[in-house]
Chain A
Amino acid sequence: MTTAPALLQVRDLQIEFTDRGRVTNRPVRGVQLEIGSREVLGVVGETGCGKSITANAILGTLPEQARATGRIEFAGVEQLSLPERERAVNRGDAISIVFQNPGTAFNPVFRLGNQMRMVLRRHRGLRGRAATAIIAERLSDVGLTDTQRVMNAYPHELSGGMLQRVMIAMALLCEPRLLILDEPTTALDVTVARQILLLILRLQHALGFSVLLITHDLGVVKATCDRVAVLYAGRVVETGPADAVLKTPKHPYTQGLVGALPGQSGGRLRSIEGQVPANFLGIQGCAFADRCYAAIDTCRQVDPDLRPVSTTHEVACIRGGEL
């Protein structure tokens, strides 16, 4: 679909947690993702599927005990083999992130303006008036008019919605090429969440960065994403254009999720029984087999890779073509 080489390409990403040399968990087991420039990719899946940790791997902020293998290519440069110093240079600059909970993501004892200043000083070497000017501009970009007051405020003095706007402004300070949004509206109430999403879309159109949007909400995917990747137990089970995946989901898991989408009662309506396994270490075959309405014996032995069902739509299910 994307003709130009992708901005971000994640190939066979595996993440392991080790404790004194022993592997204790493997939350990501071969994730494939691709984001073209100016593209909005949604990543969906139930809680614990490995969405945030995948984002952390892309950013290079995994916890110490975690080790990532595979390939993460950003702007043509393989990231996992880079030394930490060089990865840190990209963070907050070419790749930025907006977290789920703006109430805790900011440091409570520093003024918001100063927290943004630190980012500008780190990546652009700017301070003083030059920095203030850029910060004020970004703040008004995200719809905050009283920029002086916001800069002088401490996090606890602003509402969640305002804080999330500040977070977005901070993420955009250095004009990133990729913006990761990890459930950016989950902590906000519905109307504010809508406003924030619209804001992100507007900014994406205006500034032309790519977006990796992590969410639980298929309605959000439908409204905002070009493509979507469905994650289950640390693997991408289905990916393709958002319309196609939501309209004609091929993987039983996606079908279950779509069935759970309110207002989308067209045809089958299946709620998914059971839950994501707590630990993915002992998984044999397809991780979803135990919850799947269509599972056959082979499903418990073979863990299928993504296979195309159309030119742009891929699914990791041995019965994917027929369902």
Chain B
Amino acid sequence: MTKFIAKRVFASAVVMLTITVLTFLMARVVPSNPAVIYAGPKASPETLDRIQSELGLDKPLLVQFFDYLGGLLHGDFGDSLATKQSVLPDLLERLPATLELIATAMTIATVLGVALGVLAARRRSGALDGSIRFLCIGGISMPAFWLGLILQVIFVGKLGVLPATGQFSTEITYSNPLETITHFALLDCVLTGNWVALQDGLEHLVLPAVTLAAYPLGLIARMTRASMLESLDQDYALTARAYGLSPRSIVWRLTLKNALSAPLTIIGLSVAYMLTGTFFVEVVFNWPGLGQYATQAMLAVDYPVIMAITLLGAAGYLLTNFAVDLLQAKLDPRTRS
């Protein structure tokens, strides 16, 4: 097991370095001069020259890369070309809201997806199976921003039971102001016992989280169903039945563990979807996460910010897939060797 982990850590480090090289090169290949973006369109040639050397753009590419890499190792992602501010603090300020959203969506997608998949498999070809299939196809095929708008129309416009946008209501800032401890807003609510704000925050979280969860939920449910059916068809499922175990424990205790491997892979891949999907969802729901920051950076070709977000996304992706692999190995002893 230790060897397995060591191997994976090494592989992840190599991938991360490769991605750093690639994003760095891509930023240099983009046909726009960072100095121009930094200085603005009306800058004089002298100013441009000065800024070029300030940003280190006149040095050889290799030197620039190692400067950048050296910065990264100290947690320095450089300065934003648009705001002229260091990227890292801006990133850290917005990251927790995005992480909260993604984590919630991932939890919804996993728990509900697996549960629905198992139920569909147990009631194969029944009405429940049919409705779940319909739901999954809906979740998979509907674009997130579109689903977000529909949910807003229904739950905000028609029913009026949930707030439309934002992370908290404005009133909360006055009535029950948030104290910051971890920067994770909901966690801080719990830690400070601010239950009013917690409820308000959860209400705000529901729609964006469900919107973001829809696609992976559909995939996970479909995958779980297929892999459950396969697993229920195996000899060991018959053995369990032949030894009197109840259908419920055969499904939920025994065969589910065999069947989880495939949906688990999907869960790992879904993280990639969520990292980009969250940007759309955050714009639709005016969520104070990385989404709007990233969108603005992309439109402005603010390459230090774009690179920082790319690297962050890659790290997140590698980390979750690492976790998935560990879990796989935990679930199935045959994958450990």
Q: Please list the residues of chain A having a beta carbon within 8 angstroms of any beta carbon in chain B.
A: 59, 61, 88-93, 96-97, 99, 101, 104-110, 118-119, 122-123, 154, 156, 170
Contacts and interface: CB of A to CB of B under 8 A. Distances in A.
Among A90, A93, A101, A122: residue with most chain B CB under 10 A: A122
A109 B327 CA distance: 13
B333 A105 contact: no
A135 to B, nearest CB: 14
Interface of B: 234-236, 238-246, 249, 253-254, 257-258, 331-334
18 contacts: A88-B244, A88-B246, A91-B243, A92-B242, A92-B244, A97-B242, A104-B235, A105-B236, A107-B236, A107-B258, A108-B236, A108-B258, A109-B258, A118-B243, A118-B249, A118-B254, A122-B244, A154-B334
A110 B239 CA distance: 13
A188 to B, nearest CB: 16
A59 B243 CA distance: 9
A89 B243 CA distance: 9
Nearest to A90: B244
Contacts of B246: 88, 122
A110 B254 contact: yes
A109 B335 CA distance: 10
A23 to B, nearest CB: 20
B265 to A, nearest CB: 16
Contact of A93 (B236, B238, B244): B244
Nearest to B332: A109
Contacts of B334: 108-109, 154, 156
B264 to A, nearest CB: 13
A141 B254 CA distance: 27
A123 B244 contact: yes
Nearest to A100: B235
Given A154-B334, A156-B334, A99 B239 contact: yes
A104 to B, nearest CB: 4
B241 A99 contact: no
A109 B261 CA distance: 11
Given A105-B235, A106-B236, A108-B258, A154 B243 contact: no
Contacts of B249: 118
B241 A61 contact: yes
Nearest to B235: A104
A119 B258 CA distance: 19
A229 to B, nearest CB: 21
A295 to B, nearest CB: 38
Given A91-B244, A101-B235, A108-B332, 13 more contacts: A59-B242, A88-B246, A89-B244, A99-B238, A105-B239, A107-B239, A109-B258, A109-B331, A118-B253, A118-B254, A119-B244, A119-B245, A156-B333
B326 to A, nearest CB: 15
Nearest to A96: B243
A177 to B, nearest CB: 14
A109 B244 contact: no
Nearest to B239: A105
A105 B241 CA distance: 11
Nearest to A173: B243
Nearest to B336: A154
Contacts of A61: 238, 241-242
A96 B241 CA distance: 11
Nearest to A63: B238
A216 to B, nearest CB: 19
A109 B241 contact: no
Nearest to A180: B242
The 9 tightest CB contacts between A and B, nearest first, are A92-B243, A91-B244, A104-B235, A107-B236, A92-B244, A154-B333, A88-B244, A105-B239, A119-B243
Nearest to A89: B244
A300 B310 CA distance: 79
Contacts of A96: 243
A154 B257 CA distance: 14
Contacts of B236: 104-108
Contacts of B240: 107, 118
Nearest to B255: A107
A123 B246 CA distance: 11
Contacts of A90: 244
Contacts of B241: 61, 91
A118 B257 contact: no
A122 B235 contact: no
Pick the most buried of B243, B257, B331, B334: most chain A CB atoms within 10 A of its CB. Answer: B243
A122 B243 contact: yes
Contacts of A89: 244
A109 B254 CA distance: 9
Contacts of A154: 333-334
Given A99-B235, A101-B235, A154-B334, A107 B254 contact: yes
A156 B334 CA distance: 7
A99 B254 CA distance: 18
A91 B234 contact: no
A41 B260 CA distance: 42
Contacts of A107: 236, 239-240, 254, 258
A105 B331 CA distance: 18
Contacts of A97: 242
A118 B245 contact: yes
Nearest to B253: A118
Nearest to A119: B243
Contacts of B257: 109-110
B152 to A, nearest CB: 43
